[in-house]
Structure 1
Amino acid sequence: MRSTALLIFLVVSVSRATSLTISAPVKRSTSSDVADLSETTIVLFSETQEFAESMKDNADSLLTTYLSLQGEPYSDPDFGLPDIRIANLPTATMNYDTFMRQTDEIRLKNNLYFYTAIIKFLQLTMDEQKDLNPADPSLNAKFEQVLSNINALIDNISTIMTQMDFSVKIEFRTPMVESYIGSAIFKKKLRGYVVCREYKERVALTMRDFEFLAKKYEGHLQRARP
């Protein structure tokens, strides 16, 4: 059985990418940071939180199913490489201070950026797995459901940002995703693992983000204009 240490040694083209999370001001959120929003927008915070919660089981299942089909060491029960990152793939890793000091715009923009970006990585991973595991349709079905969920979530986040007068323009580095040529099976399997893991972790963070926003804006409706 290959050891985790050997796996790390072999990953010569997988980068330890820095987080693409947008930086936020040092100031923590206070009651004065609460904007006057319409009831529609505030309701969308709760609805998006609930939708993210509904995505959790599928995100967990995608990673579990993916690992089970890749052979050793991926299928080992204790497999994990938490420090491995993929170049240009945003990471969901975020400490408490960073989480708390985000402005509404940065919090929403980070979510929009992540999900818009990871679609490209998930689609490539899904296509590669059709070749690597052609006899197992269950994984492809899970990828399809994940992509459908992400598109619905992007619509919700974009709607909220538009209603709050925030820009929804997203810019990516080019080229964003490197297609491994030939029989780079090891690289493809490892990248797919990181993609599925980051997606699972981001769904959990999104649940926290929208729980935070829903509580922050509970009872703060837009003041009626005379």
Structure 2
Amino acid sequence: MRSTALLTFLVVSIATGLTMADTDEHSELSTDTIALFSETQKIAEDMQSNADSLPTTYLSFQGPPLSNADYHLPDIKIENLPTAAMDYDTFLSQTDETRLKNNLYFYSAIVEFLQIVKTEQEDLNPFALDLTAKLEEAVANSNTLISKISAIMTQMGMSVTIEFPDPLVVPFKGTAYFQKKLRGGVICKEFKERVDLTKRDFEFFAKKYEGHL
């Protein structure tokens, strides 16, 4: 069951003075785990093209001002939507478990947000078939990553338990057409940015375990 737990591990703070040896409690990887790391890195790389084009495609169907060529999504917070925003020191200092669990949490949550966007767009833009296809691809790719990352964590002896606020996606009251359109754009943008961060995460793993992966 979902709980009202906050997204605590998305803001885990780790001292930047730790050495690689201090944070590496899983230096010996099995052959199966090595293969899963490589497969997941390839999936993240393959996802990037769709993820990069998703926000632009989404906005192009929303009408002015969102569809205007010079429009930029505002920097707003969507309740319970996990973010890919992270400073460089935090990126470098994460343990393997934190790095993997942040990704597992994000994709487990984003599939619900993307599904809501898809449902809303089927109502608001029923003929936007390109957008529907991209949203479906984003959901399918996210589910693939969830499966792969869960398998990696299980093989490394890590917990894959995820707890969400209830409800995760807070519904708007009334029609709220513009708010829905704006929220959908921010969700697509966060998905794009997380895919980019996931690619960097698994490039980090490849370098960290060079000679293994």
TM-score, scaled to structure 2: 0.90
Matching residue of 2:41: 49
Matching residue of 1:141: 133
The CA RMSD measured in Å over matched residues stands at 2.0
Cα gap change, 1:106/1:62 in structure 2, threshold over 3 Å: closer, same or farther?
same
> 5 Å matches for 1:112-131?
112-131=104-123
Deviations 1:104-151 (A, max 9, x none): 000000000000011111101100000110122111111111111111
CA distance in structure 2 between the partners assigned to 1:166 and 1:138 by the alignment: 38
CA distance in structure 1 between the partners assigned to 2:153 and 2:145 by the alignment: 12
Give the number of the structure whose alpha-carbon radius of gyration is greater: 1
Which structure 1 residue ranges, 4+ long, deviate > 4 Å from structure 2? Answer: none
Residue of structure 2 aligned with 1:21, choices 10, 31, 34: 10
> 5 Å matches for 1:31-180?
31=21, 33=24, 35-180=27-172
Matching residue of 1:30: 20
Matching residue of 2:3: none
Asked whether the equivalents of residues 22 and 110 of structure 1 are also in contact (C-alpha less than 8 Å), the reply is no
CA distance in structure 2 between the partners assigned to 1:206 and 1:220 by the alignment: 19
Aligned length: 205
Matching residue of 1:186: 178
TM-score, scaled to structure 1: 0.85
Matching residue of 1:12: none
Asked whether the equivalents of residues 65 and 139 of structure 1 are also in contact (C-alpha less than 8 Å), the reply is yes
1:77 CA drift (Å):
2.3
CA distance in structure 2 between the partners assigned to 1:82 and 1:218 by the alignment: 40
Using the TM superposition, name which of 53-62 and 42-51 deviates more: 42-51
1:20 CA drift (Å):
6.4
Partner-residue secondary structure (3-state), 1:50: helix
Q: Which runs of 5+ in 1 are unaligned?
A: 1-17, 222-226
Q: Which runs of 5+ in 2 are unaligned?
A: 1-6
1:46 CA drift (Å):
2.0
Asked whether the equivalents of residues 22 and 106 of structure 1 are also in contact (C-alpha less than 8 Å), the reply is no
